[in-house]
């Protein structure tokens, strides 16, 4: 091959690389741009966080423990051990009680968050999954095997009512007015449930949104939905926006999280280390981050100006937990998140 041809090929290759580098979304590592407040490692398995009354607790499925997190040192003090297949954790608004459900049973455990003593054991739905405290300070439980949503008596912690959803729903999200929102995975829809009375208010079909796994009610009305092929928003007037997922995020949304104030949201994706911060109103990307491991869960809690990120380190069979300061994210410089789950400030 002549020198001129080699030079021409080099110019074409360089030109192609330059065009890609100028048009591709910019990605950078959190470790290079945002310094974690803390990082901890656990044996591979589900890690769940819950907060109430200014207290933060961590459930380790692998260890079978619930521990209190010390915010000064980020160390763990075990509250209860020996749990068999714990699935999810909730903390009362005052921080005085912990609720833990056991996936391989029909059991819900209720215990004081700090005092010693055996837990109360309540019988609930088959294979209990998510347990959550609504904005009405009542508790709700998902029976995953039979696709039921239970409302629990706030004093006795027993099921007082239930709804047969008839579809797979991954996560339930409360809003600021006492309603619950469910993504309907099989029927490509969203369900809104009222809590007084406990009944389905509406079911919304999502056009161009296959297999929704996460839905966030918005403070001004409407919702965000994260699906296998797109992120979709609907405002209070019913106007719909849709952003298709391509490239590094093409395997679908794993979870959405609304930032305090309700103006920005964060998305993580299946089979990807990418995390995207975007504007809720326009769905335009604000920032894109590449994490050291694949993110699995995101958490923000009232009075904790921290983004907690649970990550799966499959190469080393570990689960990683890191915390990043919310004020270090665009639009959050003055944020102290005294919020409910919908992002609306109290």
In three-state form (DSSP H/G/I as H, E/B as E, the rest C), the secondary structure along 119-130 is CEEEECCCCEEE
If one compares 115 and 23, the residue with the highest pLDDT of the two is 115
Between CA 7 and CA 42 the distance in angstroms is: 52
Q: What residues pair up with 53 in beta bridges, in sequence order?
A: none
Write out pLDDT tens, residues 235-264. 988 889 999 999 989 999 999 999 999 999
Kindly state the average pLDDT of the residues 136-154.
90
Kindly state the average pLDDT of the residues 313-324.
96
Sheet holding 38-43, edge to edge: 38-43, 318-325, 304-313, 294-301
In order, the DSSP letters of 69-115 are E-TTT--EEEEE---SSEEEEEE-TTS-EEEEEETTTTEEEEEESSS
Task: Identify the DSSP state of 254.
Answer: E
| Ramachandran assignment for 281, one of left (phi > 0), alpha (psi -120 to 50 degrees), beta (any other) | alpha
> Domains of the chain (ranges plus CATH)?
26-328 (2.130.10.10)
Residue 1 banded pLDDT, cuts 50, 70, 90? low
Tokens 């088959």 identify what position? 126
Cβ-contact 246, 228 below 8 angstroms? no
Nearest to 164 by CA among 143, 183, 178, 185: 143
**SS3 state of residue 13:** helix
Between CA 100 and CA 110 the distance in angstroms is: 7
Residue 2 banded pLDDT, cuts 50, 70, 90? low
Between CA 309 and CA 296 the distance in angstroms is: 8
CB-neighbour burial class of residue 286 (10 A; exposed 0-12, middle 13-18, buried 19+): middle
pLDDT(273) > 70 = yes
Kindly state the average pLDDT of the residues 132-156.
89
Q: How many residues does the chain have?
A: 346
**SS3 state of residue 19:** helix
Residue 18 host element (H or E): helix 3-23
Residue 335 banded pLDDT, cuts 50, 70, 90? low
- Looking at every residue in the chain, the average pLDDT score rounds to 86
Query: Which range among 48-62, 101-115, 216-230, 239-253 shows the weakest confidence by mean pLDDT?
Result: 101-115
């Amino acid at each position: 091959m002549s020198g001129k041809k080699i030079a021409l090929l080099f110019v074409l290759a360089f030109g192609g690389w330059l065009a890609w580098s100028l048009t591709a979304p910019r990605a950078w590592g959190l470790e290079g741009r945002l310094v974690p407040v803390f990082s901890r490692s656990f044996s591979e398995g589900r890690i769940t966080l819950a907060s109430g009354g200014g207290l933060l607790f961590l459930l380790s499925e692998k260890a079978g423990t619930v521990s209190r997190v010390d915010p000064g040192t980020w160390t763990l003090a075990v509250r209860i051990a020996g749990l068999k297949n714990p699935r999810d954790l909730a903390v009362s608004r005052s921080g005085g009680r912990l609720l833990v459900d056991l996936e391989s049973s029909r059991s819900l455990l209720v215990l004081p968050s700090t005092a010693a003593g055996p837990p109360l054991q309540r019988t609930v739905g088959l294979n209990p999954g998510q347990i959550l405290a609504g904005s009405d300070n009542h508790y709700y439980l998902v029976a995953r095997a039979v696709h039921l949503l239970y409302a629990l008596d706030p004093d006795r912690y027993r099921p007082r009512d239930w709804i047969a959803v008839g579809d797979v729903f991954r996560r339930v999200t409360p809003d600021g007015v006492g309603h619950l929102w469910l993504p309907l995975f099989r029927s490509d829809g969203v369900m809104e449930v009222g809590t007084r009375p406990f009944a389905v208010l509406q079911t919304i079909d999502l056009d161009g949104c296959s297999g929704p796994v996460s839905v966030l009610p918005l403070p001004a009305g409407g919702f965000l939905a994260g699906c296998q092929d797109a992120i979709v928003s609907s405002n209070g007037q019913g106007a719909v926006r849709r952003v298709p997922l391509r490239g590094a995020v093409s395997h679908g949304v794993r979870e959405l999280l609304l930032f305090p104030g309700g103006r920005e949201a964060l998305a993580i994706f299946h089979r990807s280390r990418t995390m995207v911060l975007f504007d809720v109103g326009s769905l335009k990307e604000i920032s894109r981050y590449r994490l050291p491991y694949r993110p699995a869960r995101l958490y923000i809690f009232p009075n904790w100006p921290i983004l907690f990120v649970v990550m799966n380190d499959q190469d080393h069979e570990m689960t990683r937990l890191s915390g990043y300061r919310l004020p270090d994210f665009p639009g959050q410089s003055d944020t102290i998140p005294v919020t409910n789950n919908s992002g609306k400030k109290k």
